[in-house]
């Protein structure tokens, strides 16, 4: 029996078996190219072409981001040597500007938070408080609380809705204890660093962002 010779051409999606061209379908089966509809083959070609460009650009952006941070961190190192202090605030946010004031680079650190088990304690205290009040505003507050503690498909609550609860001015000790539990439930899951670029035509003009989406790089 002759050995089956396979030759893959990943850029085209074609696999050559014994000199014949096949393409793998979504079920993992090899389909002879001549049996594939022309529209399906054309769609495959277009998708592979676009994804190829996307991959190249993504790699360029990743390298660009790396070079940017190396340059900025190097500058910060010089400042630290000169003045004995690091540029930026406690979170690491910092801004750099050209001498003429027309170009600006900002480095921002965004913390992504989640809530620990104390959040359930806060919910229990709030429910206990609500069960004892009969004021006209209780229905509105109940709706706000229900929305705040609703979870998405991943089981996570909406942080912005939780924060709305902390802005309510309620003097009941249980409510205050619940707000303390919410505050202590906060924990940083991870942080992400962003670089943003701006320019303006003159000092009298507004800053205009230079769009470079590096969030996914």
Model pLDDT for residues 57-101, shown as the tens digit of each residue: 888 888 998 999 999 989 988 888 888 766 655 567 899 999 999
Q: Give dist(CA 174, CA 122) in Å, integer.
A: 9
State whether residue 129 is helix, strand or coil. Answer: helix
Residue pair 179/199 in contact by the 8 Å Cβ criterion: no
pLDDT classification of 45: cutoffs 50, 70, 90: very high
Q: 0.85 cut: is pTM over it?
A: no
Residues 6+ away with beta carbon under 8 Å from 203 = 101, 102
User: Which of the two residues, 170 and 16, has the higher pLDDT score?
Assistant: 16
**pLDDT for 92-121, tens place per residue?**
789 999 999 999 999 988 777 777 777 788
Question: In angstroms, how far is CA 29 from the centroid of its own chain?
Answer: 36
Which residue in 25, 9, 105 sits closest to 65, CA to CA?
105
Burial class (CB in 10 A: 0-12, 13-18, 19+), 44: middle
């Amino acid at each position: 029996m002759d050995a089956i010779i396979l030759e893959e051409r990943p850029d085209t999606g074609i696999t050559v078996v014994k000199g014949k061209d096949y393409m793998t379908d979504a079920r993992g089966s090899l389909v002879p190219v001549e049996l594939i509809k022309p529209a399906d083959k054309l769609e495959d070609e277009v998708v592979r072409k676009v994804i190829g460009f996307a991959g190249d650009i993504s790699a360029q952006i990743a390298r660009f981001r790396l070079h940017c941070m190396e340059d900025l961190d190097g500058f910060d190192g010089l400042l630290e040597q000169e003045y004995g202090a690091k540029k930026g605030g406690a979170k690491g946010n910092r801004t750099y500007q050209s001498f003429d004031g027309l170009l600006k680079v900002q480095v921002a650190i965004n913390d992504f938070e989640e809530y620990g088990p104390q959040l359930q304690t806060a919910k229990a205290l709030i429910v206990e408080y609500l069960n004892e009040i009969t004021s006209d505003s209780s229905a509105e507050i109940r709706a706000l609380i229900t929305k705040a503690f609703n979870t998405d498909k991943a089981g996570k609550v909406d942080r912005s809705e939780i924060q709305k609860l902390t802005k309510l001015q309620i003097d009941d000790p249980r409510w205050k204890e619940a707000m303390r539990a919410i505050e202590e439930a906060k924990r940083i899951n991870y942080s992400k660093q962003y670089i943003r670029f701006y320019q303006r035509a003159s000092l009298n003009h507004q800053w205009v962002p230079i769009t470079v989406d590096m969030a996914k790089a």
